[in-house]
Chains A and B, each alone.
Chain A
C-alpha cells in the first residue's frame, strides 16, 4: 500500500513568486491536513480537508490556500512568497475524521521550500 506522496520534494523560489505543492494521500483516505514545520515554530497547522471541503484552518495569512480534489488529492498554494515562508511543508492523511478521538495521521516526507 503506497504511502503519502508529496511533490516536489525540494524547490527553490524567489520572493514574490508563488508555489503549488501537491499531496497524494493513502488510497482510500479522505482526510488531508497540511503543516508548516520550521525549527523555531515546530509544526504549525495550515488547513484540513475532508471530502473536498475545508474543515479547519490555522492562523496563516490569506496567501496560503489549499484545495482537495474528488480523488482526495490535495494541493496547497502560497502566493507572493516571503523569506519567512522557507520551511518544510508536510501533508498528512487519515482514513477517517473522527472528532471524538485522536486520529492516526500518516505523513508524507514533505516538500522543502527555500525562498531566496
Chain B
C-alpha cells in the first residue's frame, strides 16, 4: 500500500516558468522533509516542516505543510536549469516506532 503519493511524476518546463509539485499522504505524520536528488548524486535536504499550515521559503522555493499534516506542496518561482532533479518528500512518524515513508518523487527537467 502506497501511503505517500507525489504528483506529478514527471514535469518538463521551460526556464522562467513557475511550477508546483505535491506530496499527499493517507496518514498524519509528525513532520515532513523535502529532498532534491541530482543525477548521479544522493538526495540533499531542502527543508523540514513540522507545524500544520507552516510555510517556509528558500530563495525561489516555497514549501507548505498542510493544516492536517497529511500533505505538502513545493512551489518554484522562475525555474532555472539548476533546479533540475528528482524532488522527494519523506514523512516522519517519530517516537519509539520511528518510521519514514518516502514518496517516489517528482522528476523535474527545466530546459534553457
Which A residues have a C-beta under 8 Å from some C-beta of B?
Answer: 4, 35, 41-45, 56, 90, 92, 99-102, 104-110
Contact = CB atoms under 8 A, between A and B. Distances in A.
Interface residues of B, number: 25
Contacts of B35: 105
B43 interface: yes
A42 B30 contact: no
Interface of B: 30-33, 35, 40-45, 48, 50, 88, 90, 92, 94-96, 98, 100, 102-105
A61 to B, nearest CB: 20
A111 to B, nearest CB: 11
Nearest to A99: B98
B3 to A, nearest CB: 12
A102 B42 contact: no
A104 B33 CA distance: 9
9 contacts: A42-B88, A42-B102, A43-B102, A44-B102, A99-B95, A101-B31, A105-B35, A105-B43, A109-B41
Nearest to B4: A42
A104 to B, nearest CB: 6
B95 A100 contact: yes
Nearest to B42: A107
Contacts, number: 54
B103 A100 contact: no
B105 A90 contact: no
Contact of A102 (B48, B88, B96, B103): B48
Contacts of B88: 42-43
Contacts of B43: 43, 90, 105, 107
A100 B94 contact: yes
A109 B104 contact: no
Contacts of A44: 102
A33 to B, nearest CB: 9
B29 to A, nearest CB: 9
A45 B100 contact: yes
